[in-house]
Chains A and B, each alone.
Chain A
Amino acid sequence: ILNVEQSPQSLHVQEGDSTNFTCSFPSSNFYALHWYRWETAKSPEALFVMTLNGDEKKKGRISATLNTKEGYSYLYIKGSQPEDSATYLCASQNFNKFYFGSGTKLNVKP
């Protein structure tokens, strides 16, 4: 079983703040790293799939970077908005198995 860790566990920020969180994963047998956004009472929604060391992906105000050699990924949100409030999950993929972190719960206060 791969151990995927996310930090912090929760985060409270003010509207307009920029924020970032971390996903760490074992770098051996790495295949891909997935980020999901999960709002309460909804399904997890895919944000990014990253595979190569040094990958950077962006979707609007959200971006992510990947370091496969040291086994971590950062997710950044620029200018947080209340609608960004959700749990952000990462998962490390090993062929067709997926290992999830516990998530970072983000609360953006207006």
Chain B
Amino acid sequence: EPEVTQTPSHQVTQMGQEVILRCVPISNHLYFYWYRQILGQKVEFLVSFYNNEISEKSEIFDDQFSVERPDGSNFTLKIRSTKLEDSAMYFCASSELAGTYNEQFFGPGTRLTVL
């Protein structure tokens, strides 16, 4: 069964460094999402992406964050200058359709630790 994959599973970085989290969505899906979950808190929506541009973004998704679909298969989240509070589990998701029939498939997540 097709699945969303994410790499790496765990990333440790120093504060101020740039990180790129990678996702490979399911191949026929058109909509892509990033979420994060800080330990002990709710899952938070970061951004949705369709047709090579951002569809929606949350208040969390500031200038430090960017997303890209560089090659038609990968979907990346870049954090330019990491802060301690960026430490979280980051989930990628994809769906075939947006709107009312939007069943999302989640990847296993990348645990980001900022020291």
Which residues in A have some Cβ–Cβ distance to B below 8 Å? 1, 31-32, 34, 36, 42-46, 49, 51, 89, 91, 93, 95-103
Interface residues of B in 15-43 (CB under 8 A from A): 31, 33, 35, 42-43
Say yes or no for B104: interface residue by CB 8 A criterion. yes
**Do the beta carbons of A97 and B56 come within 8 Å of each other?**
yes
Please report the number of residue pairs spanning A and B whose Cβ atoms sit closer than 8 angstroms. Answer: 54
**Do the beta carbons of B104 and A46 come within 8 Å of each other?**
yes
A96 to B33, CA, bound (A): 9
**Do the beta carbons of B105 and A46 come within 8 Å of each other?**
yes
**Do the beta carbons of A100 and B44 come within 8 Å of each other?**
yes
A89 to B47, CA, bound (A): 19
The list of the 5 closest CB pairs from A to B, nearest first, reads A43-B106, A100-B43, A96-B48, A96-B56, A51-B100
A45 to B106, CA, bound (A): 7
**Do the beta carbons of A49 and B103 come within 8 Å of each other?**
yes
Say yes or no for B91: interface residue by CB 8 A criterion. yes
**Do the beta carbons of A43 and B100 come within 8 Å of each other?**
no
Can you list 13 A-B contacts (CB < 8 A)?
A34-B102, A36-B106, A43-B91, A43-B105, A44-B91, A45-B106, A91-B43, A96-B31, A97-B48, A97-B56, A97-B58, A100-B43, A100-B44
**Do the beta carbons of A49 and B56 come within 8 Å of each other?**
no
Who on chain B is nearest to A94 by CB? B56
Encoded as 1 (CB less than 8 Å from any A CB) or 0, chain B from 72 to 115 comes to 00000000000000000001000000101111111111000000
Who on chain A is nearest to B41 by CB? A102
Q: Within the complex, which residue of B31, B56, B107 is in contact with A43, where a contact is CB–CB below 8 Å? A: B107
Who on chain A is nearest to B37 by CB? A100
